[in-house]
Structure 1
Amino acid sequence: MSKPINHVVIVGGGSAGWLTAGVLAADHPALQVTLIESPDVAPIGVGEGTWPSMRDTLSRIGVSESAFFRECDAAFKQGSRFNDWREGGGAADYYFHPFVLPQGYGETDLVRAWLDTGAAVPFADLVSYQPHLCVQGRAPKQPATPEFAAVANYGYHLDAGKFGLFLKKHCLEKLGVRYVPDHVTGIDSAPNGDIAALRTRAHGPLAGDLFVDCTGMQSMLLGGHYGVPLLRQKHVLFNDSALAVQVPYAAPDSPIASQTTSTAQRAGWIWDIGLPTRRGIGHVYSSAHTSDAEAEADLRRYVAATGGPADMPAPRKLTFEPGYRQRFWHHNVVAIGLSAGFIEPLEASALALVEMSAAMVSDDLPANRDAMDIVAHRFNDAFTYRWERVIEFLKLHYVLSRRTGSDYWHDNRRSETIPARLRELLTLWRHRAPSRLDFYRIEEVFPSASWQYVLYGMGFLPERDHVTRRTDTAAADPYFREAAELTRRMLRALPSNRELLDHIRLHGLQKI
């Protein structure tokens, strides 16, 4: 009889480890979940943006959203704003990738109708109310809106260090996760090649049935013990370094941005994330195209130009190897988080992939060892597909840029750096809009609407003379009017981001 899966051991804490522990423990009360974490290894502490999926994840594990906002210094995020990506200059060089789908998405050909209007209004601004909410700094809900409910779809900005501690507290106090603060000193193997137990310095051998590797870029179990290689992607996405800094607001009542702002630079881009108490800012760049000193100078110029202090503190340097594992689940080890891979923080896919991974492990948790290899094969297939789509979507931003003046942007447009599938899609999209025909899985990482927002925000326009399908462009007019009316109503009714966050801090949100 095959051995049942009764005990899951998670190695490593941080957001990945504690999110996984929370999902497993909440979904499977009879399952023993143990998390072992070295007390001397601090989490990386970056990754301050989430997708709207995080609302479902936090609700799934039984978290109070009000407590989350207060304890994680969290704010609302309604999408991303991209500055200077198209041409590299001018106040008009920006566009939004909002979290809400276009009005009428899937009902009619919005793109053809937009082109027939002359495309004078940016695509996202015409089909969605959310870019206007972001420009005006509005919150995505009202004080009376219950926890996790939304008027406009939203995710979060958060303090990553505080988030890990918040999840840890919830897992230990509410979900019965066993915590072992200790160092892993060795690995005991079973006759079939599985990991039988982890040897620890103070607690001896720690046996388990399934091990989750959340050890970060070290990838102690999957990469270190099993030698599963990293499929490096630097030939596609060049960025391998980041400088991160935290800066105060100019005044205590300064507006809090409702979106992540990404501003293109000579050899990378700068993120700008607003929390209630400070801004998190960082410069992601390619070490092959600029030096650390030049990157820091660009970062300091940006901070000064956007109201930051003249005496900005020294930034924290981070390096990474862009890539993902050849397999994510091998024998009885599954990697989640940085141990599975990392590309770059553009579009905040890192935490979303953690959520997806934890959910799939929990939803498809094998009953016994015989079923594990089947589940592992399905998991590997799903996440290889997802990593490939993430890479293509991020590369899309660079491929479409018309910036000049540096080798970085020119090299990003070289055909040999563009994945073959993305090249094919761009050829198709010269004649039609991205659709479900291009992204056919039920749970796509980025829906076709996201690709439309970026394509048309970056100035990529289909060749209308070659469109063969007959469409009724007038059918889109009611949806354009609906988006405009929703914009007017929401701008009148919704508070500012800071106003709602102050309300939550003092009064909380009502529970559903």
Structure 2
Amino acid sequence: MDSRMSAHIRKLVVAGGGTAGWMAAALLKKVLGHLEIELVESQDIGIVGVGEATIPPIQTYNQFLGLDEKAFLSETNASIKLAIRFENWKQKGSSYYHTFGAPGATVGFVGFQHYWLRAMKAGLNKSFWDYDLNYLACKAGTFNKIQTDNPVYQLPYAYHFDATLYGQFLRRLAEKSGVVRTEGKIEHVKTNPETGFVEALQLTSGKQIHGDLFLDCTGMRGLLLQKTLGVEYEDWSKWLCADSALAVPSQRHEKTAPFTRSIAHESGWQWRIPLTHRNGNGLVYSSRYMDDDTAEQTLMSNLDTAPLDTPRKITFRTGRTVKQWHKNVIGIGLSSGFLEPLESTSIHLIQSGIVRLLKMFPNHAITPSMEALYNAESKEEFETIRDFIILHYNVTERDDSEFWRDMQKLALPERLATKIDAFRDTATLHNEQNDIFRDASWVEVMLGQGIMPQSYHPSANNFSDQEILAIMQKIEAAKLQPLGSLVAHDDFLRKITAN
């Protein structure tokens, strides 16, 4: 092992700001207070800024930092997110919810879907979502915090927020805790000629920022990880062909929905994200199937409130770097890969990359085994999210355009193909250790997209028709019980953010 690899990590340099850079700087400083952290960013370099919707683990991040939820909601113009409503995905005019809840209740050693299927055979006429509290709250447009340890009554939630304001919020916190911010553009990345490790960032001003460990938060440019260290990028466009997005803000809707809307169109899909000061809107599409003018017309003609700006185009390539950690550089955020925002995973991937680094943070040395373990976990996480997104496109009854017909013909990754077949045959699911989506998520999307299992687990036959229907009625009543304590979503937001 060379001397560079065995050196103590005394200073960490974050190349790039935005959501990724400031999330990393804030949490690393909180956990490793002794570590010197310097973040380099330029006000002249914009950020992608489409990551306005999140998933529930963001609460863990915020709570660990000690963020006051009231201040966070106020300063980022945030709203509550209970689910994503998918419209027109199975077929035109259809809709279903992928919620953060756990439908039903634990009856035995197998998932609730097996008992729901058994009850359907016994004559039940209720959807899977009728046993999901998050869905019931979405339908009513209500929310409230429920203090309970009983999973039946839990109402898991995440947030919609302005990602730019969130980065600024974290910047103030990080600088207060001792993170040093340096303004400037990176002109050159200096590496050690013997080890290949990054030694310093040279700015256009001539100043050099030295460090022992570097985080590449330079977005899709991948300035350190890809352009300097030459880490290859694994292209996933054969499965996820979208390569463009248009984003535009619009006026706030009169009612703030507690869910994201994902609306499928002829050759792509549109997001609608409700914030307290405006709506976030965008259209994700493939240039192979839709030109920019058609995309803009599709987006602007499907806004539910007046636009506040002209659409901004973002181009991307779905995939991941084959290594997220190489030598003394770790890619955090878009420098490590890009997955379209269909399931609101962009900010979570930032968070999980930081947490993974913290768990494996080198005390004395950067070792090959540490890099390998980090990269293996990251690879599986990226791939399982990729597969979950592919599922939405591939399993559909839509055949009204070349795009949707081609999506049904995709040669699926083997793991996903096996998962779909197993669910279709027996309603069985098996999730990988680093899959961020629970069984309930896969069940709701598979059912919502049109997969109805042919059979269920034999343990569900232990109940007679009358017994299984009585059990389902009891679970439904339990799920309905908390609804009386919920309030209109906007009323909750006004109350919690009131001075």
- Identical-residue share of aligned pairs (%): 30
Q: Are positions 1:501 and 2:493 aligned together?
A: yes
Following TM superposition, by how much is the alpha carbon of 1:249 offset from its aligned partner in structure 2, in angstroms?
Answer: 3.1
**Partner residue of 1:422 out of 416, 424, 429:** 416
CA distance in 1, matches of 2:45, 2:462: 58
Q: Are positions 1:368 and 2:364 aligned together?
A: yes
Q: Are positions 1:249 and 2:247 aligned together?
A: no
* Conservation of the 8 A alpha-carbon contact between 2:75 and 2:169: yes
Counterpart secondary structure, 1:463? coil
* Conservation of the 8 A alpha-carbon contact between 1:76 and 1:155: yes
Following TM superposition, by how much is the alpha carbon of 1:225 offset from its aligned partner in structure 2, in angstroms?
Answer: 0.1
Following TM superposition, by how much is the alpha carbon of 1:151 offset from its aligned partner in structure 2, in angstroms?
Answer: 5.2
Q: Are positions 1:471 and 2:465 aligned together?
A: no
Matches within 5 A, 1:44-443: 44-89=48-93, 93-105=94-106, 107-118=109-120, 120-123=125-128, 125-141=129-145, 152-173=155-176, 175-190=177-192, 191-202=194-205, 204-249=207-252, 254-303=254-303, 306=304, 308-309=305-306, 313-369=309-365, 371-416=366-411, 418-435=412-429, 438-441=430-433, 443=434
Deviations 1:67-116 (A, max 9, x none): 11111001100111111111112xxx111111012232474442232223
The residue type paired with residue 262 of structure 1 is: S
Following TM superposition, by how much is the alpha carbon of 1:313 offset from its aligned partner in structure 2, in angstroms?
Answer: 4.1
CA distance in 1, matches of 2:13, 2:240: 33
Deviations 1:24-47 (A, max 9, x none): 001111111111112311222221
Deviations 1:361-391 (A, max 9, x none): 112101122x433221111000111111111
Scaled by the length of structure 2, what TM-score is found? 0.92
Q: Are positions 1:460 and 2:451 aligned together?
A: yes
The residue type paired with residue 206 of structure 1 is: I
CA distance in 2, matches of 1:434, 1:7: 48
Following TM superposition, by how much is the alpha carbon of 1:394 offset from its aligned partner in structure 2, in angstroms?
Answer: 0.4
Label 1:192 to 1:425 Cα distance change in 2 as closer, same or farther (>3 A). Answer: same
CA distance in 2, matches of 1:301, 1:446: 33
Counterpart secondary structure, 1:429? helix
Deviations 1:391-438 (A, max 9, x none): 11001111111112111111111142x222211222222222243xx2
The residue type paired with residue 362 of structure 1 is: L
* Conservation of the 8 A alpha-carbon contact between 1:78 and 1:98: yes
Following TM superposition, by how much is the alpha carbon of 1:468 offset from its aligned partner in structure 2, in angstroms?
Answer: 7.0
Following TM superposition, by how much is the alpha carbon of 1:471 offset from its aligned partner in structure 2, in angstroms?
Answer: 2.8
Counterpart secondary structure, 2:498? helix
Name 1:510's counterpart in structure 2. none
Task: Give the number of equivalent residue pairs.
Answer: 483
Deviations 1:333-357 (A, max 9, x none): 0101000011200001111111100
CA distance in 1, matches of 2:197, 2:470: 59
* Conservation of the 8 A alpha-carbon contact between 2:144 and 2:492: no
Scaled by the length of structure 1, what TM-score is found? 0.90
Label 1:194 to 1:66 Cα distance change in 2 as closer, same or farther (>3 A). Answer: same
Label 1:434 to 1:116 Cα distance change in 2 as closer, same or farther (>3 A). Answer: closer
The residue type paired with residue 239 of structure 1 is: A
Counterpart secondary structure, 2:173? helix
Deviations 1:440-498 (A, max 9, x none): 41x4211222111101122201112xx57443464865764454234433321111111
Following TM superposition, by how much is the alpha carbon of 1:184 offset from its aligned partner in structure 2, in angstroms?
Answer: 1.5
- Note the aligned Cα RMSD (angstroms): 2.1
Counterpart secondary structure, 1:197? strand
CA distance in 1, matches of 2:448, 2:259: 16
**Partner residue of 2:476 out of 470, 481, 484:** 484
Pick which of 179-188 and 269-278 moved more: 179-188
* Conservation of the 8 A alpha-carbon contact between 1:76 and 1:140: no
Counterpart secondary structure, 2:262? strand
The residue type paired with residue 284 of structure 1 is: V
Give runs of ≥4 in structure 1 deviating > 6 Å.
none
The residue type paired with residue 121 of structure 1 is: K
* Conservation of the 8 A alpha-carbon contact between 2:84 and 2:97: yes
Name 2:40's counterpart in structure 1. 36
Name 2:29's counterpart in structure 1. 25
Pick which of 451-460 and 201-210 moved more: 201-210
Counterpart secondary structure, 1:117? helix
